Amino acid sequence: METTLWVAGTVLAVATLLPLWRQTSWWVRVFDFPRLQLAAGLLAVLVGHAAMGGGGAAPHAFRGLLLACLVLQVRRILPYTRLARVQVQHSRLADGPGHLRLLFANVLQSNRHADGLLAAVRRCQPDVVLALEVDDAWIEALGELRHSHPHTLLRPQDNTYGMALYSRLPLIAPEVAFLVQPDVPSIHLRVRLGTGAEVTLHCLHPRPPAPGEAASSAQRDAELVLVGRQVKRQPGPVVVMGDMNDVAWSHTSALFRKISGLLDPRVGRGMFNTFNAKHRFVRFPLDHFFHSNDFRLVEFRRLPFFGSDHFPVYIHLSHEPEAEAAQPEPHADAPAQAEADEKLAEARP
């Protein structure tokens, strides 16, 4: 039993410390994801080893290592619990012309259960719907959205990176771009609220670092940096949404928020784990909304399972320009900008 605890603790410690290495290889970056699961394992091994007793330098050093790794994991995930202070304030305004409702889902291209997603759209009544991993069959299955959301930008693909956007609000300067890779699109546009304010939307789905997808996170990281810098240069309200194939607490996500100056409505509210919807105990927050600090939050929730490996997510925002003074935006210092430059350089052919 003691040997098993030593082996398990050593594996968990390595899995905790490996992501501190800024290497972009998938087998390093994969350990950014299961921090909650690793924390639970570290706690179990630490308690078990302590219960067995035994003194000496080696057991004490081992327990100290486990405790340090547990603290490191808890520090990363704590902001995404209700124990932390919220980053985005709750709006007290009644529904009005400055409100914006957004819903998006990674539909899982092979999934053919569109009825559940359409039912979620009917319940939530979003202004904008974004569907990821759509092919031609999904465009046909979502056809009824053309009646409720007549303004569309459709880019179906057969490689699991197709995108489809449906909106009640007219689309201003809509564009499909290929920022880093020629087969991975992103959508960029503006919509005008009832107040007259124009909100820029960036819709992303970068390729993940994983076997069969990408050997490293370089392309994903570069896309987030490119969009983050574009956001920083843009005036007015902004929302970035999509399946980022990265967890909320990763170093890359934190760098994106610094570079862009955007806020994360998850902070202080919960993890809202969206993937894998089919495995209850192995889930991570991969599907994100980030927004400028002139929005307050009305509602943010994960929607019911509809057959995909991702849960849909829904956000209701209130554009309140005076919120800027109460919600300071993140800033990138010189080292962060230098790291962003390095990520762009690494992604170049």
Q: How confident is the model at residue 316 (pLDDT cuts 50, 70, 90)?
A: very high
Per-residue confidence (pLDDT) for residue 56, from 0 to 100: 76
Query: What's the number of CA atoms in the CB half-sphere (13 Å) around residue 258?
Result: 16
Per-residue confidence (pLDDT) for residue 349, from 0 to 100: 62
Mention the CATH class of domain 99-346. alpha beta
pLDDT digits (tens, 9 = 90+) for 184-224: 999 999 999 999 999 999 999 999 999 889 899 999 999 99
What is the C-alpha to C-alpha distance for residues 298 and 175, in angstroms, rounded to an integer? 28
> In this structure, how many other beta carbons lie within 10 angstroms of the beta carbon of residue 9?
22
> In this structure, how many other beta carbons lie within 10 angstroms of the beta carbon of residue 55?
7
pLDDT digits (tens, 9 = 90+) for 42-83: 999 988 888 877 677 888 889 899 999 999 999 999 999 999
Query: Which residues have a Cβ under 8 Å from the Cβ of 34 and sit 6 or more positions away?
Result: 15, 282, 284
Q: pTM of the predicted model, to two decimals?
A: 0.94
Query: Which residues have a Cβ under 8 Å from the Cβ of 326 and sit 6 or more positions away?
Result: 89
Q: Which amino acid is at 23?
A: Q
What is the C-alpha to C-alpha distance for residues 51 and 297, in angstroms, rounded to an integer? 45
Instruction: List the alpha helices (DSSP H) in the chain.
Output: 2-17, 26-29, 35-51, 57-77, 114-124, 136-141, 145-148, 218-233, 251-260, 334-347
Select from 241, 240, 313, 315 the least CA-distant residue to 277.
313
What is the C-alpha to C-alpha distance for residues 221 and 29, in angstroms, rounded to an integer? 11
Please state, in angstroms and as integers, the Cα–Cα distance from residue 102 to each residue in 228, 264, 315, following that order: 20, 15, 5
pLDDT digits (tens, 9 = 90+) for 132-154: 999 999 999 999 999 999 999 99
- Average pLDDT in the chain: 94
Structure tokens at 329: 């935006």
Strand 128-132: give its sheet, edge to edge. 151-155, 163-167, 128-132, 99-106, 313-319, 295-302
Per-residue confidence (pLDDT) for residue 54, from 0 to 100: 67
Strand 99-106 to 128-132 pairing: parallel
Strand 171-177: give its sheet, edge to edge. 171-177, 186-192, 198-204, 238-243, 287-291
pLDDT digits (tens, 9 = 90+) for 74-112: 999 999 999 999 999 999 988 889 999 999 999 999 999
Domain ranges of the chain: 2-80, 99-346
Number of helices (H), then strands (E), in the chain: 10, 11
Per-residue confidence (pLDDT) for residue 51, from 0 to 100: 82
Per-residue confidence (pLDDT) for residue 53, from 0 to 100: 72
What is the C-alpha to C-alpha distance for residues 291 and 88, in angstroms, rounded to an integer? 9
Select from 133, 232, 108, 237 the least CA-distant residue to 185.
133
**Mean pLDDT of the 321-326 span:** 95
Structure tokens at 186: 């992103």
What is the C-alpha to C-alpha distance for residues 240 and 257, in angstroms, rounded to an integer? 11
